[in-house]
Structure 1
Amino acid sequence: MRNLPTTAKEANTPKRHRGRVYATVCGFVYMLASVSCSSWYLTLVQPHLENDIWWPHFNATGVQTFLGDIVHSRMNLQRPQDTFLLLASNPPTLFQRYGQESTTMTVPPSSPRTILLGDIPFEGAILAIRSESLDTSLAYRTPFCWADFGRAFEMAHTIPRQQRCLQRDADNAAVFLESVLRNVNASDILDWELFDMLNQTLFTPLLDHHHASGAAWVASILTRHSLLPVSDEAAAWMSHGLAKFTLQLQNKDAQLVEASILIEDALGIQQKITIRSIPPSSQAMPATTSWTSLSLTSDMNAAASFSMSLVRGGLTDANALGLDWDTDILFPAGQGVPGMDLLRSHVGPLGSIDIRTIHIPPALAEYFLTFRESLYAFLESGNSSLLASYAHLTEPLVDPVPPTWGNLSYYGGNPMCPFMSAQSFVQPSFGITDDCTAQVPYAVHFRRESVVFALISSGLSMDQLGFVCNFSSTSSDQCLATLLAVLPLVTMWNESTAFGSQFYPPITAMSNLNISFMQFASAIDDITSQSFLLQPLVAANDMWSFYGWVGIHEWLIGRREVYSFEGDIATLTVLTEPQDELALVANDLEISRKGCYYIWYITVYITYVLVAIVTLMILYGFYIGFHVEWWNLFMCNWVIGCVWIGRPFLFLRGITAMLLLSSGSLAFIRHDGFSSLVAAPPTLFNTMVVAGEATWLTVVLHDFLLPFSDPDVTLHAPISTALVWVVLTIIQATTPHTVSISLHPTCTYSLLGIQATCTSGVVQFGSLTRLGWLCLVHVACIVVVYLVVKVYFATTRRHKGMVHGVPHILLPGIVHAFFVESGHGDIYLDKVACVMCGMVSYKNTLFHIPSWTRLTKPPTLHGVGYMFQVAKLSVPVRNMQKLEHIQQEAPCSSIMVSSVELEHRQATEQHHKYIRWVGLFGLAHMGASVAGSYGYLESVRTVMANDFWWAGFNATGHQTYLSNWFNRQLQLGSNISATTTLVTALEFGEVGTSNDYSTMDTVVYVAPLYASAIQLEVNTLSNVITG
């Protein structure tokens, strides 16, 4: 509360000196600037309120698809440093157009196997094993090494493979049979339909030949009463020296992974974005990996047919019976075939080969990212003709053959197709989906970026291009034309950036991988003269390396994979054939856009109120000749906000600004086919505006604490608010929030090695931690300024304003705290100030809008304002209490209570009883109203759970049922009128399906031929003419 230095009459006289005129002008300018900034703030916050994650200009075909592509590209590289990727400081760029209707997310075909064949956390593996049936768990192609965690009971088919198990898989829980059996109830094992076979080939040999140790282990499996908690089970695995759970490749079943990323806003709320959801293909998988090893159930079946044990070292194992798992038991008919003979003699016996996934070396990943960043930067900075020449490069198919492989018969390059016939041409390498039914020539696709990568990595010169293209017999001309077009561009880039002299391809890392291109071959006229041809993919001073680098680039982008086939004799590491990239249309409905609309409307409402009230104040200022108290004008935001808007809406407005200060500022840049997310910090003016809007929180906090404040609030409140504005502006201008992507896949495995649902990472667009720290700025500034003001008054002993009497009941507390008052507590309000306080005046009439009351009050001081006196509140003493007091003081007095007074007293008492009963009834009514409100909220909770107010509506129930209902009616061609049909009629019920709509496992049935049938329905004459 601010006291006038002179008397109220002198202060409010219309004859003001020049300083007050300037102060009044500044006050009105301040109000105009304030509402102008509030209006401008709408343009700043509106893009952020387009969605509930506060990300401006976020859409499905633009930023959403781009984020999915970025995550896919980095996940494929599997770099440890990519666990935290700063988008603003190191913006990734992709050469792809976004924002078009046809834009789709590019899903690498290798991504499911990257997840499923990676290191699976123990908890995830344990949960998956427990959720699967024993049939499913033991049908997966897992070549077990040991039965028990103690490594006492060996299960490898050969001694060399058992040694490899000890060297490579001693800490891999996936090759221990106990990891499966100890997570299945003993009753389920005993009731398993293949238990007799398991008992014959595993348990009985352990009891017969391993006696005590075998019996103890079998008893621990078959007499287990309950399963350990998942965490305890994982600890038990680790206590036996196990550190990983890694499966081997199989291509009997298609691998399916649904992946998503989370986008986190400044409130810590996360929205899920799907980046991989590819339906299973109807094409059958080839199951060619069975040549390397079989599942345990297949091994059991084979062993049972020979009355043989699966455990090594007994009297009935294969070695003791003189049998070979490859040629005698599993593949007896595979001898004399060139491919099989070569695979056995150069890799090892079939059925005992391990297929291991080879991950991209970190040095290669770093080299690739540097290459792409440098190339894209060069193309973006160059002229349009340079970029056009790059974009229009031809991408032919060429058929190269290593120069030392001529004049031979070729049986194929896929080690999992060892039974193919002789051909005159070199054939492709290992393919995941290759079913060995077709023999086609080997071909390499010259994609533009792959060719640039191969040229810079191999270091080919103009003179060497002809030699490289001569490796291709039928397409050398197309090869040479492409390379002659690309090499000048590569030369310009290299000369401009010196990339080739600064960054070198990781030849050492590639040599350590020992990736080769393999071919089964024999002499043309002598099938017995067989050759196991190997061509290193990348080698120093070898021009074939150009084709190798083309393939390596496709490995880096996820179109190819690398696997090693570890046999008893040698290890063969091959690069798979390329697979087609998959396309996924981003789902725009995954980004919620509900709450943002409400916040936007409230924010607009607040601005309109501020503008309307300030406009009305200016009009009143004209009306009274601007004879106003200048100090009150600078308090307009405080008073208007608390009187006309209210604390809840002001708090919401302030929170919107705080969320902007706690969120990233990015721009999605697209030009000439390049797309990237770059930092787009706001201007200093915009930062100041947002920081100013954030001070509404300080206003609300001061207003909330007003009953506990002292008269100094009129000083420390504005100062602390200004300090908050300055500090927030400095923080945002110097250290804005940086958007980051944290790549840490967390998966739930439905079927180990086959199906999983993963969250690939989190895009932190906003920071809840930063929001918390910025909120602390408000509190800290209030506390610091309050203490400084207290110390100031204590040391200077200056007079502080005092509150005189009870404030006027029509004026809010914020007015008494901040407006000018006279020395006796009365407050003079000019007509401009009355508007701020919620009162509209006209002559002698005041309309008090908050209480919706009209009162008559004569204006003072030449009709420019009104004087509001201190409220005079007193409690009158009842008449009968006075009479009782008089009788007690003068019992002998002649004053007697008349009979009329006694009747009045009785009537009053009866009236008071009536009032008490009415009050009691009112209290009961209030309680019932409150209870009814809570009951109503509970009753509409399920109704308001969706936007169409359908109680209990869910995806697996109502939505699936309606989808099936419509599919049936469309298939039957029913002509149903929406105005006469009741979907609840029994004739429309669903009969004959396996859907149980009370569960979470329901499906939508779609007729496979309906898509063809609908073509006949829509092919009317008018539709055909329209196009």
Structure 2
Amino acid sequence: MRRRRRGQRRMYLRNIDFAAWIKAYRTLFMNTIGNALLERPATGAPWFAYVEAHTWTSVDNQWANYRGIQETISVTNALGTTTTIQIKATPSAQFGSMWTSTTLFGSFENDMCAMTGNESLVRESGNFSVRPTRMRSKFIHDQVGWLGNFDLKFIPPPQSLLRLSMPSAVVCQLQSNSAFASTFAPLGTLLLTPPQWNDPTMAFYGGSLMCKSGVAQPYVQPSFGFDDSCSSQRPYTQVWDGLSQVFAFTALDGNRSGANAACSLCLAYQINGCLQMARIANQASSQLLIPPDAMRWIADVPRAPTPYIDSQPMVQADDPFTVFGWTAMYEWALGQREAVSFAGDFQTLRLLSYRYDPTVIYANALDVQQSLASYLVGFATSVSSGLALVAAVVILVRVIMPPGRIGSNWFVLNRVASTSWMGRPLLVVRGVCVVLCLATCPVRLYLDLRETFDAGIHESLGRGLWLTSVFNDLFFHVTNAYTRAYAPGSSLLAWIVCRHFRSLVKMDTQLLCTSGSLEIGSVRRLLLICTVQVASVVVSAVGVASIATLKPAKSFPCFRVLPWRS
């Protein structure tokens, strides 16, 4: 009753910016409401003043199968920059007959547009018009609430259901046991009828409050759906697969008699297949433990010849339909169904939709900017190719003109050849590129049986020491006499410390997926790797210099990379 009293004080024109709204809808408003109010100055003018004094600028949107949706995921790299990738896009469009929720919660614009031929929405006006409703619309109006005055609220799955919806033990079995995985092929679509409606004398008008034109049928029909255009009346069906059944029988604590009773609700030719699938799922459910849940799913199914709205609890003790109810709960947790509260003036129905087929939407590759990565890869490739060419020339010269002395300087080829032939700027770019790779966990998706997993691709830690070589060259003018002694030690120290970081903080655990945000790199790790390399150079140089002060100073000979005959 409180909701009915609230409905008498309609929120139209109070929950909006009236000044901006009236500019767009003045003609419609005056034809359907305004002119009738102006005919009664005693009541119309005070109403207008009240509306203008209480204009609000915001209102909560209700659930409707009209609006489009755009879903994105943000990817943060090691430099801290964020890229937004669109993973789902449903543009807003005029749905026409597909906009079935408008009959329950229609916008004020629809009410005005429905008035054609100089008709008015004001009941006291002389040109007020109303059209007769169908029989089904009448008993929805009488038993649930006035049409056009419903509150449709989206109901998210409870956290307890989300935590239990993916049994990790079964997923591990699917990965490790191929025979076990082969038994989890989908059984198919089952046609079933809840026990309380298994009566040949009953007729069913439909399971969706949004569909008003249905005629009596001898079979139960599905609940509402976002994409239901109410153009056909289909029988109620349910899809069974391995994981959903394991979840259902685990929730039932392995009740074998419940499985037999549930399969008896199917058509005769599907009972044997249902029992076989139930037996396999019942065996697998012994690996899990799910406490009972008080959640209920309600489907709207009226009867004939005296129409009224009846409901089927999805989870109820001693009801064979509970097996299928838990299966539907599992699909709700996975996003294959959605729950909506239909609040009318007389009662509130919390309904679960029918199962939605997945829609394949491909991400736009242009959303990922790759220009910086392309430049870095180009620089790193040019340095590696140049060093490989220098090494090939050295080998060729060594073969053609063998050195006159015994020994070689291959261990210092990278340090000397890279500085002489490549230059320090390119070495810095290559070092930064490698450090970025070490501070990033590349994502590689692959399919293993039924589930998709992600894995990190590990980079060679030795390649990340190019910055150490550059730092050693920069310190060469200060530590000339000790460079040869501390440079290898600094590289070894940096490698050991970074190796410790790699084993302490694994890269594949740095993927943080929170509310559509994916962090594939760590700025902290990037700075840490660079700090370790600088600190290794400084510590090694200071250590060697301290040791050298205790001994007589001596100069170290220089070695030639390209030998020649004297």
Output the TM-score relative to the length of structure 2. Answer: 0.83
> Is it true that 1:379 corresponds to 2:174 in the alignment?
yes
1:261-276 to 2 correspondence within 5 Å? Answer: 261-268=73-80, 270=82, 273-276=85-88
Distance 1:544 1:520 in 2: 18
State the partner residue of 2:314.
537
Matched with 1:572 is 349
Match of 2:269 among 464, 470, 477: 477
For residues 274 and 501 of structure 2, what CA distance do their matches in structure 1 show? 53
Q: Distance in 1 between matches of 2:553 and 2:47?
A: 91
Aligned to 1:504: 291
Contact 1:261 1:274 (C-alpha < 8 Å) held by counterparts: yes
Identity between Structure 1 and Structure 2 (%): 23
Tell me, in whole angstroms, the C-alpha distance in 2 between the residues paired with 1:307 and 1:289: 21
What secondary structure does 2:299 align onto?
Answer: strand
Q: Which amino acid aligns with 1:489?
A: I
The CA deviation at 1:202 is: 11
Give the CA deviation at 1:396.
3.4
Give the whole-Å Cα distance in 1 for the aligned partners of 2:427 and 2:204.
79
Cα shift at 1:353: 1.2
- Matching residue's letter, 1:740: L
Counterpart selection for 1:394 from 187, 194, 197: 187
Other-structure match for 2:561:
835
- Cα distance in 1 between the residues matched to 2:79 and 2:312: 56
The equivalent of 2:147 in structure 1 is: 350
Deviation at 1:771, TM superposition (A): 0.9
1:433 paired to 2:227: yes
Aligned ranges 1:497-646 → 2 under 5 Å: 497=287, 499=288, 502-505=289-292, 507-508=293-294, 510=295, 514-522=296-304, 527=305, 529-585=306-362, 592=370, 594-595=374-375, 598-599=378-379, 601-609=381-389, 611-612=391-392, 615=395, 622-626=402-406, 635-646=412-423
Work out the CA distance in 1 between the residues paired with 2:398 and 2:39: 100
Please show how residues 302-321 of structure 1 align to structure 2 within 5 Å: 305-306=119-120, 308=122
Contact 2:121 / 2:129 at 8 angstroms: preserved in 1?
no
State the AA in 1 paired with 2:299.
F
Larger Rg: 1
Equivalent in the alignment of 1:160? 3
User: Letter of the aligned partner of 2:527 in structure 1?
Assistant: G
Residues 167-222 of structure 1: CA deviation (Å, up to 9, x unaligned): xx9xxxxx78566427x759x8289544645982899799976989974973897x
Q: For residues 419 and 273 of structure 1, do their structure 2 counterparts lie closer, same or farther at Cα, with a shift above 3 Å needed? A: closer
Quote the Cα distance in structure 1 between the aligned partners of 2:26 and 2:474: 69
Partner of 1:1006: none
Cross-structure match for 1:770: 525
State the 1:536 CA deviation: 0.9
Are the aligned partners of 2:28 and 2:113 in contact in 1 as well (CA < 8 Å)? no
Q: Matched residue of 1:568: which SS? A: coil
The whole-number CA distance in structure 1 between the counterparts of 2:276 and 2:110 is: 55
Contact 2:380–2:429 (Cα < 8 Å) also in 1: no
Change (3 A) 1:482 1:453: farther
Structure 1: which amino acid aligns with 2:132? A
The 1:716–1:437 alpha-carbon spacing in structure 2 relative to 1, beyond 3 Å, is: closer
Shift of 1:292: 1.8
State which drifts further: 276-285 or 699-708. 276-285
Superposition deviation, residue 569 in structure 1 = 0.9
d(CA) in 2 for partners of 1:293 and 1:667? 45
Match of 1:742 in 2: 513
| Residues 513-539 of structure 1: CA deviation (Å, up to 9, x unaligned) | x431221112xxxx4x34322211111
| Equivalent pair of 2:440/2:521 in contact (CA under 8 Å) | yes
CA 1:412–1:191: 2 relative to 1, 3 Å: closer
Measured in 1, the distance between the counterparts of 2:521 and 2:513 equals 13
Shift of the 185–352 alpha-carbon distance from structure 1 to 2, 3 Å rule, reads closer
Aligned mates of 1:439, 1:589 — CA distance in 2? 42
Do residues 189 (structure 1) and 189 (structure 2) align?
no
1:781 aligned to 2:536? yes
Q: 1:284 to 1:557 in 2, by over 3 A?
A: farther
Distance 2:36 2:490 in 1: 79
Q: How far apart are the structure 2 equivalents of 1:576 and 1:487?
A: 24
- Greater RCO, CA 8 A, separation 6+: 1
Is residue 493 of structure 2 the alignment partner of residue 723 of structure 1?
Answer: yes
CA contact (8 A) 1:201 1:300 kept: no
Query: Hey, what's the Cα distance between the residues in 2 that align with 1:441 and 1:219?
Result: 52
Work out the CA distance in 2 between the residues paired with 1:202 and 1:614.
98
**Matched ranges for 1:406-417 at <5 A:** 406=199, 407-417=201-211
- Select 1:403's aligned residue among 171, 196, 201: 196
Against the structure 1 CA distance between its residues 613 and 426, is the aligned structure 2 distance closer, same or farther, given a 3 Å change threshold?
Answer: same
Match in the other structure for 1:656: 433
Residue by residue over 1:822-849, the C-alpha shift from the partner in whole angstroms, topping out at 9 and shown as x without a partner, is xxxxxxx6xxx3435xxx645xxxxxxx
Alignment CA distance shift 1:595-1:445 (3 Å): same
Which amino acid letter does the alignment assign opposite residue 525 of structure 2? R
Q: Distance in 1 between matches of 2:214 and 2:446?
A: 52
For residues 701 and 202 of structure 1, the distance between their equivalents in structure 2, rounded to whole angstroms, comes to 85
Whether the 8 Å contact between 2:105 and 2:152 is mirrored in structure 1 is no
The C-alpha deviation readout for 1:849-898, integer Å capped at 9, x for no partner, is xxxxxxxxxxxxxx4xxxxxxxxxxxxxxxxxxxxxxxxxxxxxxxxxxx
1:282 & 1:295 partners in 2: Cα distance?
14
For 2:473 and 2:196, the matched residues in 1 are separated by 86
Whether contact under 8 Å (1:402, 1:535) holds in the other structure is no
Q: What residue ranges of structure 2 are gaps of 5+ in the alignment?
A: none
State the secondary structure of the residue aligned to 2:405: coil
Partner AA of 1:397 in structure 2 = L
Match of 2:284 among 493, 513, 538: 493
Matched letter for residue 557 of structure 1: L
Alignment-derived partner of residue 333 in structure 1: 132
Rate the CA distance shift 1:485–1:678 in 2: closer, same or farther, 3 A: farther
Is 1:703 aligned to residue 473 of structure 2?
A: yes
**Structure 2 match to 1:116:** none
Q: The residue matched to 2:430 in structure 1 has which SS?
A: helix
- Cα distance, 1:585 vs. partner? 4.5
Q: CA RMSD in A?
A: 4.2
CA displacement, residues 763-822 of structure 1 (integer Å, 9 cap, x when unaligned): 32222331122112222333344444565566x4x44468xxxxxxxxxxxxxxxx52xx
Deviation at 1:365, TM superposition (A): 0.9
Q: 1:45 aligns to what?
A: none
Mapped to 1, the partners of 2:354 and 2:332 lie a distance apart of: 10
Distance 1:705 1:286, change over 3 A: same
Q: Report the AA paired with residue 140 of structure 2.
A: L
Secondary structure of 1:539's counterpart equals coil
Equivalent AA in structure 2 for residue 343 of structure 1: I
* 2:159 corresponds to: 362
| Alpha-carbon distance in 1 for matches of 2:175, 2:48 | 69
Alignment partners' CA distance in 2, 1:159 and 1:722: 77
8 A contact 1:272–1:590 mirrored in 2 = yes
Q: Is the 8 A contact 1:206 1:214 kept in 2?
A: no
